A = this chain, B = another copy of it.
């Protein structure tokens, strides 16, 4: 485990604040980004699943990347999600993100149209050929309904097609095999776990870092955990994860909501309660959490000394 691996460490997927009338809230965005960088994160991932990428028009995507690059101002690397259904559309997002200053690009498997592994592999090969930037594969079957096979990922890493993987597959067995195979290949891939609740186990097994949504709410914990892991202090890694998991109950104290509204809704609610976001507005058609759920989240934050 080494901080020499590019894009390694804590790379939060940045939650995007909206104004009540559904515009990008640039002030809150800047406040949140600065807080993350000051907490010591190693990179920032914009336009991820929790960064409203699929809710944002192309114009809004551009605005988010433009403001992100301006605010970050080279303090940490900027990774940008170029998530869309199929190759030509993803290429367009990639070209625009690079023109606006992205340091690396993050793409999922194609989705909506059904396909097979050969289509997926061809997709990543085309992206690599036509986009001049480090390319991360984003493995998120819960959204795209395709699991990226670890043998394919390892092979594309060895061939230089992929620079890394963000694993949000929930398949820790597959991730573990990928880590071991990548090591045999000389560690060409940067392997980041998106599972904020079990980062400790992923780090023990050899992950190069994490992409934890919960770090939007409590970045310092993930930074401490990463440092403890680099020191080989695994009992401290575990203790920090336990503490973070208590905070993560903002995901399950709510009722009557599900999916994006429950997950990112909880982030926005917490960030609003903590004074980091001026509003908890959600992108259409999703509604913000109601008062009862807001109160439940408040209690979790109070119990964990975040309020």
Q: Which residues of A contact B (CB under 8 A)?
A: 49, 54-58, 60, 83-89, 92, 110-116, 118-120, 122-123, 126, 142-145, 170-173, 176-177, 180, 195, 197-198, 200-202, 204-206, 232, 234-235, 237-238, 241-242, 245-246, 257-261, 263, 283-287
Contact = CB atoms under 8 A, between A and B. Distances in A.
A197 B180 CA distance: 11
19 contacts: A58-B58, A60-B88, A84-B85, A113-B259, A114-B143, A114-B260, A116-B258, A119-B259, A170-B172, A176-B197, A176-B198, A176-B245, A177-B197, A180-B242, A198-B201, A200-B201, A201-B205, A204-B204, A204-B238
Contacts of A87: 55, 283-285
A221 to B, nearest CB: 15
Contact of A145 (B56, B145, B170): B145
Pairs A-B, 4 closest by C-beta atoms: A201-B201, A114-B259, A54-B85, A122-B285
A229 to B, nearest CB: 10
B201 A202 contact: yes
Given A143-B114, A145-B145, A285-B123, A241 B170 contact: no
A261 B54 contact: no
Give the oligomeric copy count: 4
A49 B232 CA distance: 37
A57 B204 CA distance: 42
A114 B176 CA distance: 23
A55 B238 CA distance: 41
A284 B112 contact: no
B110 A285 contact: yes
Nearest to A60: B88
A241 B286 CA distance: 39
A103 to B, nearest CB: 24
Nearest to A145: B145
Given A113-B143, A204-B204, 13 more contacts: A54-B85, A54-B89, A55-B86, A57-B88, A60-B88, A86-B283, A110-B285, A113-B260, A114-B142, A115-B261, A122-B285, A170-B173, A234-B234
